[in-house]
A and B are shown apart, each in its own frame.
Chain A
Amino acid sequence: MDERNDQSPSPERPTAAADSRWPKLLGRLEQTVRPLARRLGLALGISLDGNLEWLEAHESCRCRSLTGLPPADSAGDSLALVPIPMAPEEGLVVLCPGAAGGPGLSALVEIVGMAWAEIERDAEQESLLTEIGACWECLDTLFRIHADLREIHQAQVLLNRILERAVTFHAGLKAVLWIESEGRLKAVACRNTVPWPDRDPGEGLIGKTIRNRMTTVLNARTPGPDSQQAEPELSDAVSLVIAPAGTREALIGALALWHDTEPVPFDSTRIRLIESVAMQAAAIVESDRFHQASLEGERLKNELEIGAKIQQMLLFKEPPQDIPGLQIGVIMIPSRKVDGDFCEYIRHSNHCLDIAVGDVMGKGIPAALVGAATKSQILRSLCSLLAVARSGTTPSPAQIVNAVHQELSERLIDLDCFVTLCYARIDLDARQLDLVDCGHTKTIHVDAGSGSVRMLSGDNLPLGVSMREVYTQNTVPFSDGDMIVFYSDGITEARDPEGAFFGETGLARSLQDCPCGPPDEFIRTLRQDLAAFTRTEAFADDLTCVAVRIGGQEPAQTSLVTQLELSSRFQQLGRLREWLREVYARDAHEDEDGFHLLDLALTEVFTNIVRHACHEEPGYLIRIQAESRPHRAVITVTYPGEFFDPGTAPPPDFDGNREGGFGLYIISQAVDEVSYSQTAQGDNQVRLVKRFQSIQQGECNNGATGRKGR
């Protein structure tokens, strides 16, 4: 309050003439002192701050001020100025003619002093009573505001109520609460005035108050446009208070109260009340903002939960597990975002199952709803087709997809949305897979007989791209033990931290690691491989994969282990390579390049051992163990001598300046895994893992696929 921009004259120090105590004193002295003075034959004057009033005086000394006092009275006696000791600050004096010092004068001075003290006490009491009244009024207002806070939950209603309370202490007061929002001051609540438009927070008296964070008070102001650059609504104000409305969280604003016609006693008590009200209003606005933010957060969270529920309940369905001759494994890892992946299983008989796997462009609830709508349309179209089909016939996948397309695509085009879909029918009687690919990821067909992996794709566009599209189906025969894998692009487009895609290659490798087990085993491997590849468990996209194994479970192939022992001589290299080709004859035939790289890596390992661990001395024995798994070689080379730490080797020089130093680099590049270790017996070991490729990229038909691009 001390720093207030108070521009009014001091209200606590009125002039003597305006001092209400002065006439009271004179009235009282008139009754008590004047008769006494008359009896004593004294002239008597009283002065307060130079204003002189004669109570009992001769004609000659009737002047009205001390400065106009004659040097002596008519009797020739000088006037004595006797101060009243109890009121020295007021400059109260008693004037007597020359007979000063007599007992009568002392009594007079004492009586005047007592009368003054009494009047002072009365005045103090009166002012205390007024202050208590004002304080009570303020407390009452604050109490009502707090009571409102408990009962009213809408911020706007509360603010209106606060302003209503703030203007009650003087009739005709006007009030506006200004709060800054997005760089502008907005009149969030008004009382007795029109709502004022938004304005710049840096301008005018309000701007100044906000900038300085100090209350502005103008009492008894001359209205009209002035040098204070008052806002238009304040230009006619006779008195005004602008209190800053701020909180610790940097909310800024101001509460302006003013009166256009009357001077309002904005004293310290009322100003403090207005400041309290302004802070209260700021706290309400801020709390409301937090509340709104928290509601928004809650809304987003709810949306995610709804999306997840849609996905779980509408978009996915547990696959049937009781179809003789089919095993189905499913992976479905929801991302933190809601995605539009969906799948549907339609069982026509114990020998015929339709699987539809799809993906909607986009994310969030809209994508999830389009996914649900697509699923629903598939079922409706199927029902319609069945109703008109001849008894005992099932509509073909192409018929179903074309019917869905007719119903759905136009709406999808309107929504600017499209859906990739793979609609497959596994027909166990006909031993064939009928497939309609609408721009979805390629379906994988693992041939159990040859171990080969075919990527099946059609050339149809996604649903919702063109109304002219006619969807065609492709047929692929299958045999017992084959696996058919459907998946979403979340799998192939999963990225490692460097940004590389898991890709079809990653998927094919996971398949090769468990080519004969139940589909659940493949799903587990895939999940591990994905987590290892992306180095995370929280994936960016939904991951969906449905793996179907035709026929019952086959015993898992045991891996074949072969061993060879060679003396530490370079001349053993020929023997080593011959043996390697015998062990991996089938892989060498299927993947000649892959086998050559393994051959190269093993040669480099052996050469390094002979050269560095055995120092080209022939007396050491080197043991090589080869494990043969389907499409995969695991080779362990055990040797005595010095342990070799690959970290100590210098990097290769690719500029041709050095003839050696390529061995380790070749090993690391030629195989999928290499590790160096020591056995408990103190021998050294190098372990190589090489995966062989056996993907035969097969297209159901030629032409570009309709893969969607995101």
Chain B
Amino acid sequence: MVQLVEKAGDIAMVVLSGENLDASNEKDFKREIRPILEANKKVVLDMGKLLFVDSSGLGAILSCLRQLNSAGGDLKLCEMTKPVRTLFELVRMHRIFDIYNSRDEALRAFQR
């Protein structure tokens, strides 16, 4: 459910392929993304296909951010769909994450 699609310099572009990220698959997500986080400090997560995230899924994404931050890196999110954005805003996580409309914007934010 996690695909590393490209690398722009030291930035890893990761796409979430499933439509849901919830208690049923958050463990899979964490397992699959771990090697990417270990190998990269700058990661962009493309959430364009994701239609549903619950608090478990959110917790999983939050753990990615904290792992990268503790290693001196950063996580940026992009292409967020409306329902997912609703959840992020509901628990005020839109203030914790850097969220961009497109992959390009997220990449440019890293390159600045």
Q: Which residues of A contact B (CB under 8 A)?
A: 570-574, 577, 593, 596-597, 599-600, 603-604, 607, 610-611, 652, 654-656, 659-660, 662-663, 665-666, 669-670
Contact = CB atoms under 8 A, between A and B. Distances in A.
Interface string B84-99: 0011001111011000
Interface of B: 20, 22-24, 52, 54-56, 58-60, 62-63, 65-66, 82-83, 86-87, 90-93, 95-96
Contacts of A663: 54-55
Given A573-B22, A603-B54, A607-B54, A660 B83 contact: no
A656 B96 contact: yes
B52 to A, nearest CB: 7
Given A593-B86, A666-B87, A600 B54 contact: yes
B90 A666 contact: yes
A662 B22 contact: no
Nearest to B25: A570
A447 to B, nearest CB: 27
Given A572-B24, A654-B96, 4 more contacts: A607-B55, A656-B66, A659-B62, A660-B56
Given A570-B24, A573-B20, A573-B22, A656 B62 contact: yes
Contacts of B54: 600, 603-604, 607, 663, 666
Tell me if B's interface is mostly helix, strand, loop or mixed: helix
Nearest to B27: A570
Contacts of B91: 652, 654, 662, 665-666
B23 A659 contact: no
A665 B91 CA distance: 8
Nearest to A569: B24
19 contacts: A572-B24, A573-B22, A573-B24, A593-B83, A593-B86, A596-B86, A597-B86, A603-B52, A604-B55, A652-B91, A654-B91, A654-B95, A656-B93, A659-B59, A660-B56, A662-B58, A666-B90, A666-B91, A670-B90
A571 B24 contact: yes
B96 A666 contact: no
A600 B96 CA distance: 21
A601 to B, nearest CB: 10
Tell me if A's interface is mostly helix, strand, loop or mixed: helix
Contact of A611 (B20, B23, B65, B66): B23
A669 B82 CA distance: 17
Contact of A660 (B22, B55, B93): B55
B22 to A, nearest CB: 5
A374 to B, nearest CB: 47
Which of A603, A652, A655 is packed against the most chain B CB atoms within 10 Å? Answer: A603
A539 B62 CA distance: 48
A597 B83 CA distance: 8
Contacts of A659: 59-60, 62-63, 66
Contacts of A655: 96
A600 B65 CA distance: 23
B97 to A, nearest CB: 8
Closest 10 interchain pairs by CB? A659-B59, A656-B96, A662-B55, A570-B24, A607-B23, A570-B23, A654-B92, A596-B83, A573-B24, A663-B55
A597 B42 CA distance: 32
Contacts of A607: 22-23, 54-56
Given A600-B87, A654-B91, A656-B62, A666 B23 contact: no
Contacts of B90: 666, 669-670
Contacts of A599: 52
Which of B52, B54, B59, B82 is packed against the most chain A CB atoms within 10 Å? Answer: B54
A532 B55 CA distance: 32
